[in-house]
Structure 1
Amino acid sequence: MRAVVLTEFGAPLVVGDVPDPVAGGGEVVVEVLAASVAPYAAEVFGGARRYPLVPPVVPGTGGVGRVLTVGSDATRLRPGDPVWCDPTVRARDDALTPDIALQGWSSRGEGGARLARHLHDGAFAERMRVPTENVYRLPAGALDDPARWAALGVYVIAYGGLLAGGLEAGETLLVSGATGNLGSSAVAVALAMGAGRVVAPGRSRAALGLLAERFGPRVRPVRLTGDGDTDRAAMSTAAEGPVDMVIDLLSPGAPSVVARTAAMTVREYGRVVLMGGVGMLGGDDFALPYPWIMRNSVTVRGQWMYPRTANVGIVRLLASGALDLAPERVRTFGLDAVNDAVAYAAEHGGPYERTALLMGRAVNNRAQHMA
């Protein structure tokens, strides 16, 4: 099969023939039709993010495709089923604190590194080997536009954070990083879950205007000035009442003061969920004041990725139309143009901008539709 290979950090990705994957016990082989290219993929492949990938490796987080073969432990999956392949792989020998790896992308600790060595290759290939429990059936129509459905991989992360914070219908949510690729996805998911209003701070007038235009008065844009006191007051005013929950999805390059200012808009007994990358590349600590957390009974929670059940929930939101993929701006590339795709994604990481690789028969179908 053809696949993308990261041969070393800082080198261009190489496309070539590699052996077809063979499923072991508890695994499924999926024909990949589309895989999302993250806006920060260039930073991963260049080594700037210091992800624990071990080249040579087929990268790529999650894919949309069709089941080819299933193991004897699969009781409902069938060859031909349209599926989403969740890259968040958990060890099966510790239900309380399982080691985790993001297949073809990253891992946590030595246990996660062992998982990554076993499930080494990701979704930038015509086929991939996936644990049975990481394969989720999609509506049949998803394969009519698999590149658009590949955005599921971004939305499920945001959904996992909102589940972690216990977002309830009618509540007011503040999304720190709302104008980014992931943060804007959280805005859309929160509204699909029934949030009463979403405060969306950011610096880009264009991005804030896009959010307001797409979602109407339930989104409250706030243009940040960089002054903590001014910005906190503006966000609180935009909420027109208590902020029940804050979710931070800022990128690693964002100053910690921006995340801290947003977090401190939350009401007494409110919740703060930390899911972004602040501090991962150095810089000042997040440093929320101990007395403020204690006296206001604020819950602060970290969340990496999402529980398995989030995959089912996000598919339901998408299939029902409560979360609409139609406005997504999707640019597709074939495998041979993967380096162009990575460069394009880096320059187009704004709200609802998606970059995807198309593989195999998905490329042929696209060519037929364009003919």
Structure 2
Amino acid sequence: MLGVWLEEPGGPWTLREVADRKVLPGGVLVDVLAVRVPSYTRDVLTGELGYDLPTPLVPGPTCIGRVRDVADDVFGVAVGEVVLCNSLYSSGEVLGSPDEILIGWTGTGSDRSARMQQRWRHGSFAERACYPAACVTPLPGAEEWARPELLPFLASLAIADGGLRRGGLRGGQCVVVNGATGNLGGAGVLAALARGAARVVATGRRQEALAALRQLDPRVRVVPLSGDRLLDRDAIHAETDAGADLVLDVIAHTPTTDPTLACIDALRLRGTAVLVGGVRHEIALPYQRIQRQQLTITGSFMFDSTTALQVWQLVRAGALDLSPVRAHTFGLDEFDAAMDAAASLSGLDYAVLLPRP
């Protein structure tokens, strides 16, 4: 089968014939239908981000696949189903901190993580892939879905929706989505609207992407970030109803934590901030304000099958409209062009690899 092959971090990667995938015990073999190419893919492959890639391998993140085969000990997935294959795989430990890997992407660097990566090494930038059954979510009715290139966006929606659920979102609340001009941020806006938010304040730096989000729904307000914490706090607060109930922080790597802190500053009494993004700096949290206003600061990472299925059912029922999402599609032989496009796209535009002609 054809696949993208990375011999070692830093390159070079090539499109070539690679060993065909076989179903592993506890696994599900899929024909890869569509996979989102993250904006930072090239930085992962070059080693710029320092990801723990178990090279040599076929890289690639979460994907949409059609089940080709299942192991004898797998009973909840059937051949022919269209499924969401989550790259997050956990050791499942309940007494301590579990080891986790992102299949075909990265690990934690521990010995156990390395063993998990050896077992589940290869990702989705190929014609076929094998995932643990625990990572596979069937999507009822997706076999007839007319736009398969939009289905990879379910992963971003599930990550965002998982954060909203973690923050206890209730209908009628005011939500701030910080970093709304990226794919995950755009998904957060869509998910918050679908979950009944009375107002969604979208923040970011890209004016064009903010303008597109404003057109989604009258409940959406936008705030261009200035980089000044106090000015941004006041601008965000002015677009809320006396403060936000919930902040979904999905902002990517930034030189300062000020945008995140500005949003936390805009929370109302007993508000909640959920950290989902890629900030790599320590955050100096305002201890006295958190205590006296009884704020909650929590984290959320990736998604589970329950959230993925709920998001799909919202889409399937028409409560969550995917029509504003624009998929820019590429074949495997256009992988480099797909990475270039992914790095330049924002908001609800994203790059999708379609491995099978």
Instruction: Tell me, yes or no, whether TM beats 0.5.
Output: yes
TM-score (norm 1): 0.91
Contact 1:6/1:55 (8 A) holds in 2: yes
Structure 2 counterparts to residues 149-168 of structure 1, below 5 A: 149-168=151-170
- Give the distance between the partners of 2:46 and 2:318, measured in 1 at CA: 37
* CA spacing shift, 1:143–1:61, aligned 2, 3 Å: farther
- Give the distance between the partners of 2:350 and 2:291, measured in 1 at CA: 41
Partner residue of 1:120? 121
Partner residue of 2:13? 13
| Structure 2: gaps (5+ residues) | none
Contact 1:13/1:338 (8 A) holds in 2: no
Partner residue of 2:33? 33
Partner residue of 1:315? 312
Shift of 1:337: 1.2
Structure 2 counterparts to residues 174-323 of structure 1, below 5 A: 174-215=176-217, 217-279=218-280, 285-323=282-320
Confirm whether residue 343 of structure 1 aligns to residue 340 of structure 2: yes
- Give the distance between the partners of 2:340 and 2:206, measured in 1 at CA: 21
Equivalent AA in structure 1 for residue 355 of structure 2 = M
Superposed CA deviations along residues 320-343 of structure 1, whole A, max 9, x for unmatched, are 121222221111111111111111
SS at match of 1:78: coil
- What is the identity percentage for the equivalent residue pairs of Structure 1 and Structure 2? 37
Shift of 1:94: 4.2
* CA spacing shift, 1:342–1:12, aligned 2, 3 Å: farther
Partner residue of 1:52? 52
- Give the distance between the partners of 1:93 and 1:232, measured in 2 at CA: 40
SS at match of 2:48: coil
Partner residue of 1:366? none
- Give the distance between the partners of 2:207 and 2:255, measured in 1 at CA: 18
- Give the distance between the partners of 2:72 and 2:95, measured in 1 at CA: 22
SS at match of 1:253: coil
Superposed CA deviations along residues 128-170 of structure 1, whole A, max 9, x for unmatched, are 1111122222223455432211111221111111111111111
Structure (1 or 2) with the greater helix fraction: 1
- Give the distance between the partners of 2:122 and 2:33, measured in 1 at CA: 16
Shift of 1:295: 1.5
- Give the distance between the partners of 1:109 and 1:266, measured in 2 at CA: 36
| Structure 1: gaps (5+ residues) | 364-371
TM-score (norm 2): 0.94
* CA spacing shift, 1:272–1:93, aligned 2, 3 Å: closer
Equivalent AA in structure 2 for residue 166 of structure 1 = G
Superposed CA deviations along residues 200-225 of structure 1, whole A, max 9, x for unmatched, are 1222222211111122x211111222
Return 119-128 or 133-142, whichever deviates more: 133-142
Contact 1:13/1:339 (8 A) holds in 2: no
- Give the distance between the partners of 1:340 and 1:211, measured in 2 at CA: 26
Partner residue of 1:135? 136
- Give the distance between the partners of 1:88 and 1:95, measured in 2 at CA: 19
- Give the distance between the partners of 2:169 and 2:117, measured in 1 at CA: 32
Partner residue of 2:67? 67
